[in-house]
Amino acid sequence: CPSDRVQNARFGACLMKEPDVVAAGVAAMRRAVDLPVTVKTRIGVDDRDSWDDFVRFIDTVAGGGCDTFIIHARKAWLQGLSPKENREIPPLSYETVYRLKQRYPEFSITINGGITSIDETVEHLEHVDGVMIGRAAYESPWLLAEIEQAVFGGNAPANREVVLDRYIDYIDREMAAGTPFYAMARHVLGLYQGERGARAWRRHISENRPRAGATGQILREAAENVLAVA
């Protein structure tokens, strides 16, 4: 992350300029926990954006004990671009990530950045070990079910309503523990993205969320609206 807040606190993308600090962090985490310690990084930052800079960074961090990297396949500019622009303007270079995998076949390399479809996912998996999808999955969470089916070979929920039933159970449990309704409901606004009735779905949730006593039931009503439109 290249945001000002993150830079001021000396974490996020600016750490690409301090590979020794990252390596020491990885080593300290590995000593402290039994969980896998992974590093997510860009392919460069500011003027440190050559292949050699990138390899030096990966080498150093690997020295701290990391063998799993998630690579957002574009550089970041620490000044002049907002975090959002830094996710859009620097060009993607998937080739750089493929090249990294060729150089370090023993490492697990996951590619990230601008990937939005199953076809792209399958193509990337010819070159690297994993694919991370951020915004596309958030904007249209059903993509994850399609990937479950197409890439992992089954076990995806039969339809959106099955997911919804489970999510409503989750909302009910969490609300009992004090989590506000909309903090959870907003993450499924994209569930019907691309389907007939998507707008009716979003509108019902948005309009009813301030309602006193809003519960998971609102999602059920919204889904009925979708089915009525579809």
Ligand X SMILES: Cc1cc2nc3c(=O)[nH]c(=O)nc-3n(C[C@H](O)[C@H](O)[C@H](O)COP(=O)(O)O)c2cc1C
Residue numbers of the site for ligand X (CB under 6 A)? 1, 40, 72, 87, 112-115, 133-136
Q: Give Cα 135 to chain centroid, integer Å.
A: 6
DSSP class of 92: P
Q: At what angle do helices 51-63 and 19-32 cross, to 10 degrees?
A: 30
- Catalytic residue check, 1: yes
Kindly give, in sequence order, each residue whose CB lies less than 8 Å from that of residue 28, ignoring residues fewer than 6 positions away. Answer: none
Least spacing, CB of residue 85 vs ligand X, in Å: 12
210 phi, psi to nearest 5 deg: -75, -10
Least spacing, CB of residue 116 vs ligand X, in Å: 8
Least spacing, CB of residue 215 vs ligand X, in Å: 27
Closest CA to 57 of 18, 12, 87, 31: 18
Least spacing, CB of residue 69 vs ligand X, in Å: 12
Residue 152 buriedness (CB in 10 A; 0-12 / 13-18 / 19+): exposed
Give me the residue label for tokens 């506000």.
180
| CB-based contact 72:40 (threshold 8 Å) | yes
Q: CB nearest ligand X: which residue? A: 134
For ligand X, which is the closer residue by CB, 60 or 112?
112
Residues annotated as catalytic (active site), given as ranges: 1
